C-alpha cells in the first residue's frame, strides 16, 4: 500500500488567507484543489510538502460568468461543471470538449481547471513509486542527476499532459495569478516554459485564481482532438486544439493550431498565417496545415508509446480537428 507522508492540512476560507499561508510556509507548502494529481504524486514521494493548502473552500475561486466581453472561470471549478456549462459550450465549445475528455468521470468531478493548468509534467521514468525509481536510478526531475530519456544533457523533457491549456491558448485566454503581493495577469500562451521540471512561470507562492477567455467574434470556429490508449480514462499521448476565424465565402481570417502532450509545453504551430490567411478553407488547405504540423512536431520517448507512431498521428489529429470545427457564436453577456 502507498501511504501519504505526514503533513499539516490547511483549509482557508478566503483567497487572502490561502496566499498568506503559501507565503508563511514558502518552500515547504503546496496548494491542492481536487487532489487528483497531487495525491498520487505525494504517494509516490514526488512531492513531500510539510503543509498543504486546500483551495476547495475559497469562494473567490468559484463561479463561471460572462461579463465585460470575457468568459471568466474560477480556478476551483471542476472539469465536470465546466464541460457541462451552457456558456462554455456556447462560447468555447472546444474547451467544453477538452474538459469533458480529461481522465474519467470521477476524476472530472474532483479535478479543477486550475489544477489542470498547473498540472505537473509526466514521464515514464518519473510517475513511478519511490521503490521503482530508486531501483532504476533516480532522474534529473527528482532526486537524480541524469535524464533517462535523452541520456545526455541537463534538461528534463517530461511531457506537458494537460488537455485544457492548448485549447485556452487557441482561444487567446489569460489567467490571474494572485499572491500576497497582489495580482498579475498572464496569457496562457506565456504561462508555460520549456522546462520539464517546473514548466510554468507561476511562482510557488502564487494561486491561479481565474481563467479569462475573450468572447469570440462571429466567425470563430474551434476544435479539439485527443489521442490516448484507453478513451475511458487515460492521459493524452497527443492533443490538438484549433481555432479558425472564417469570413464570408469561407476565407480564413485567423488561424491558431496548438499541439501538446509531446514536450514540456504546448507547441504553437508556426508559419500558418503565410499559408492560410486569405485562402479558402478547403481540403487542400487542411492537408497543408496538417503537413506543417507534422514537420514541426518531434515527440520524445518520455511516454512508453512508439515515438514514430505518435508523430504519425499528429497530422491525422490536426486534420480531424480542422474537419470537425464548431462555430462559437458571440452573444450578449
Only one residue has cell 512508453, namely 304
Which 113-132 residues touch ligand SF4, going by CB under 6 A?
A: 123, 125-126
Asked if 196 is part of the footprint of ligand SF4 (rule: CB under 6 A), the reply reads yes
Question: How far is residue 227's CA from residue 230's CA, in Å, rounded to a whole number?
Answer: 9
Cβ-proximal residues to 285 (8 Å cutoff; 6+ apart), any chain: 252, 275, 276, 279
Q: Are 209 and 183 in contact (CB under 8 A)?
A: yes
When CB distances are held under 5 to 8 angstroms depending on the partner's kind, the choice from ligand SF4, ligand FAD, none that residue 115 binds is ligand FAD
Instruction: Residue 40: name the closest of 115, 144, 134 by CA.
Output: 115
Provide the grid cell at 175. 489567467
Side-chain half-sphere exposure of 82, counting CA atoms within 13 A: 33
Which 168-207 residues touch ligand FAD, going by CB under 6 A?
A: 207
Choosing from 77, 85, 120, 189, the residue that interacts with ligand FAD (CB under 6 A) is: 120
Question: How far is residue 29's CA from residue 53's CA, in Å, rounded to a whole number?
Answer: 7
Choosing from 156, 237, 258, 262, the residue that interacts with ligand SF4 (CB under 6 A) is: 156
Q: Which is nearer to ligand SF4, 148 or 212 (CB)?
A: 148
When CB distances are held under 5 to 8 angstroms depending on the partner's kind, the choice from ligand SF4, ligand FAD, none that residue 147 binds is ligand SF4
# chain residues binding ligand FAD, by CB under 6 A: 32
Question: How far is residue 202's CA from residue 191's CA, in Å, rounded to a whole number?
Answer: 7
When CB distances are held under 5 to 8 angstroms depending on the partner's kind, the choice from ligand SF4, ligand FAD, none that residue 315 binds is none
# chain residues binding ligand SF4, by CB under 6 A: 14
Using alpha carbons only, give the angle 207, 211, 216 rounded to the nearest 5 degrees.
165
Choosing from 19, 42, 46, 103, the residue that interacts with ligand FAD (CB under 6 A) is: 103
Choosing from 79, 156, 167, 243, the residue that interacts with ligand FAD (CB under 6 A) is: 79
Q: Which is nearer to ligand SF4, 97 or 141 (CB)?
A: 141
Choosing from 117, 220, 302, 313, the residue that interacts with ligand SF4 (CB under 6 A) is: 302
Provide the grid cell at 195. 522546462
181, with CB counted inside 10 A (0-12, 13-18, 19+), is: exposed
Dihedral pair phi/psi, residue 167, rounded to 5°: -65, -45
Strand order in the sheet with 51-54: 8-10, 51-54, 29-32
Which 43-72 residues touch ligand FAD, going by CB under 6 A?
A: 55
Choosing from 82, 157, 213, 240, the residue that interacts with ligand SF4 (CB under 6 A) is: 157
DSSP state of 154: S
When CB distances are held under 5 to 8 angstroms depending on the partner's kind, the choice from ligand SF4, ligand FAD, none that residue 326 binds is none
Q: Which is nearer to ligand SF4, 66 or 302 (CB)?
A: 302
Q: Are 197 and 173 in contact (CB under 8 A)?
A: no
Q: Which residues bind ligand SF4 (CB under 6 A)?
A: 123, 125-126, 139-141, 147-149, 156-158, 196, 302
Which residues contact ligand FAD by CB under 6 A?
A: 30-38, 40, 55, 75, 79, 102-103, 107, 110-112, 114-116, 118-120, 162-163, 207-208, 233, 235-236
Amino acid at each position: 500500500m502507498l501511504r501519504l507522508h505526514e503533513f499539516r492540512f490547511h483549509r482557508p476560507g478566503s483567497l487572502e488567507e490561502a496566499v498568506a499561508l503559501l507565503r508563511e510556509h514558502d518552500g515547504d507548502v503546496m496548494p491542492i484543489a481536487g487532489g487528483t494529481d497531487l495525491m498520487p504524486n505525494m504517494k509516490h514521494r514526488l512531492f513531500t510538502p510539510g503543509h498543504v493548502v486546500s483551495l476547495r473552500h475559497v469562494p473567490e475561486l468559484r463561479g463561471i460568468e460572462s461579463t465585460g466581453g470575457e468568459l471568466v472561470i474560477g480556478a476551483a471549478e471542476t472539469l465536470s461543471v465546466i464541460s457541462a456549462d451552457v456558456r462554455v459550450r456556447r462560447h468555447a465549445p472546444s474547451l467544453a470538449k477538452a474538459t469533458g475528455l480529461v481522465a474519467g468521470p470521477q476524476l472530472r468531478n474532483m479535478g479543477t481547471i486550475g489544477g489542470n493548468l498547473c498540472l505537473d509534467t509526466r514521464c515514464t521514468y518519473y510517475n513511478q513509486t519511490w521503490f521503482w525509481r530508486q531501483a532504476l536510478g533516480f532522474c534529473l526531475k527528482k532526486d537524480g542527476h541524469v535524464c533517462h530519456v535523452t541520456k545526455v544533457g541537463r534538461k528534463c523533457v517530461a511531457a506537458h499532459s494537460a488537455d485544457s491549456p492548448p485549447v485556452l491558448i487557441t482561444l487567446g485566454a489569460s489567467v490571474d495569478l494572485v499572491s500576497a503581493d497582489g495580482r498579475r495577469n498572464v496569457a496562457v500562451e506565456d504561462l508555460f516554459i520549456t522546462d520539464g521540471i517546473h514548466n510554468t512561470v507561476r511562482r510557488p507562492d502564487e494561486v491561479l485564481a481565474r481563467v479569462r477567455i475573450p468572447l469570440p467574434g462571429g466567425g470563430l470556429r474551434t476544435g479539439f482532438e485527443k489521442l490516448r490508449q484507453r478513451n475511458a480514462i487515460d492521459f493524452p499521448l497527443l492533443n490538438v486544439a484549433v481555432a479558425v476565424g472564417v469570413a464570408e465565402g469561407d476565407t480564413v481570417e485567423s488561424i491558431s493550431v496548438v499541439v501538446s502532450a509531446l514536450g514540456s509545453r504546448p507547441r504553437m504551430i508556426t508559419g500558418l498565417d503565410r499559408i492560410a490567411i486569405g485562402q479558402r478553407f478547403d481540403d487542400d488547405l487542411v492537408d497543408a496545415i496538417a503537413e506543417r504540423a507534422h514537420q514541426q512536431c518531434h515527440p520524445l520517448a518520455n511516454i512508453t508509446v512508439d515515438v514514430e507512431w505518435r508523430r504519425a498521428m499528429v497530422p491525422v489529429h490536426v486534420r480531424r480537428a480542422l474537419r470537425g470545427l464548431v462555430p462559437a457564436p458571440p452573444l450578449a453577456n
